[in-house]
Amino acid sequence: MYQGSCSSRVLSSFVQVKMSLTGRTALVTGFGGGMGSAIALSLAEAGCRIVGTDRSVSDTVKQNMEKIKEISGQDALFFECDLLNRESIDHLCSTIASKVPSGIDILVNNAGCFERCTMDEKTPESWDKELAINLTAPFLLSKNFVISMKKKGWGRIINMSSVVGLLSYPLTIGYCASKTGLVGLTKAIAAEMAPHGVTCNAICPYFVDTPIIQPVLDALKRETGASREESMENIRNTYPTKKFTTTKQIGDYVVFLCSPAADNMTGLATPCDGGYSIV
Ligand SMILES: NC(=O)c1ccc[n+]([C@@H]2O[C@H](COP(=O)([O-])OP(=O)(O)OC[C@H]3O[C@@H](n4cnc5c(N)ncnc54)[C@H](O)[C@@H]3O)[C@@H](O)[C@H]2O)c1
């Protein structure tokens, strides 16, 4: 009797959490990337309507649209946008205003770029690009979509920073500056929006196996001769947990940040790094 009522309570709270985002609409940038795919699928599983954006319609984008339809029964929307280009961002915002009149409830600023190089090698153009995609685009999108979130008295902004947004790391000059800036942006938005029911949090992963890390693995191969497998093993061993965070775990953490359980959590910059940042 006791066991039965306990497990049914657990089951009902699980269903509640899983379905807690029904009726919400989420915009996910970097929808065709490793994290963006997983975040969009986790949000769709939780009941969200998904609006994806990326530079182009890749095979991954098409597969994500199909999976989202299977998972939720709802068609996802997808709009191309180059986050390097302000006109393209303005166009995305106006397209969403006309195609999604109910507005965006959850904004996931996930898209990002990374160049591994020394300060000597870093060009001003590459610096501008990293800052524009990793920091300015999240600011511009937040500024646009927070207007309707404030009117509704509910909104969630989630910014994909990095463990490099919390700690320094060599050969990441523009990335470190932009991801640290993104943590600052997160806290400033959180403070300003706290009275309006809008939370803003950042996620700070260490290495996650997605396409963005391939240039690092290529560079390690050139510099040390290590194969992909060897480098991944070496990186895995720098985690206290000796485990990589998965894209699915990141996606599910985004769902948690949007759930009622996280209603009073704002301005966080959470390391998702197997304890890397605490040792
Ligand atoms: N994978 C990791 O180890 C790791 C660790 C920490 C933080 N991150 C961050 O996670 C986020 C997602 O990266 P990922 O790991 O999924 O890598 P990814 O390369 O799979 O995805 C990056 C996405 O950003 C998009 N993007 C890049 N430039 C763009 C532009 N100009 N306009 C529009 N979209 C653009 C790409 O098209 C891609 O979809 C990034 O912000 C990245 O910095 C990743």
User: Is the CB of residue 65 below 6 angstroms from any atom belonging to ligand 1?
Assistant: no
How far away, in angstroms, is 110 Cα from ligand 1 center?
6
Domain membership of residue 2 (yes or no) is no
User: Is the CB of residue 156 below 6 angstroms from any atom belonging to ligand 1?
Assistant: no
Tell me whether residue 190 is exposed, middle or buried, using C-beta atoms within 10 angstroms of its C-beta: 0 to 12, 13 to 18, 19 or more: buried
Confidence of residue 107 (pLDDT cuts 50, 70, 90): very high
Position 1 pLDDT exceeds 70: no
User: Which atom of ligand 1 approaches the CA of 82 most closely?
Assistant: 32
Q: Which residues are catalytic?
A: 175
30 with 110, same domain: the answer is: yes
Residue owning the nearest CA to atom 43 of ligand 1:
112
- The confidence score (pLDDT) of residue 168 equals 87
User: Is the CB of residue 44 below 6 angstroms from any atom belonging to ligand 1?
Assistant: no
231: domain range? 210-243
169 with 214, same domain: the answer is: no
Domain membership of residue 194 (yes or no) is yes
The enclosing domain of 158 has a CATH number of 3.40.50.720
| Angle at CA of residue 254, ends 251 and 256, nearest 5° | 115
Domain membership of residue 62 (yes or no) is yes
114 with 236, same domain: the answer is: no
Confidence of residue 20 (pLDDT cuts 50, 70, 90): confident
178 with 225, same domain: the answer is: no
258: tokens are 């949007």
CA pair distance 101, 206, nearest whole angstrom:
37
Confidence of residue 18 (pLDDT cuts 50, 70, 90): low
230 with 190, same domain: the answer is: no
Strand order in the sheet with 269-272: 77-80, 49-54, 25-29, 106-109, 155-160, 198-205, 269-272
Confidence of residue 19 (pLDDT cuts 50, 70, 90): low
| Angle at CA of residue 254, ends 253 and 260, nearest 5° | 90
31 with 136, same domain: the answer is: yes
- Which amino acid belongs to residue 154? W
222 with 95, same domain: the answer is: no
Domain membership of residue 8 (yes or no) is no
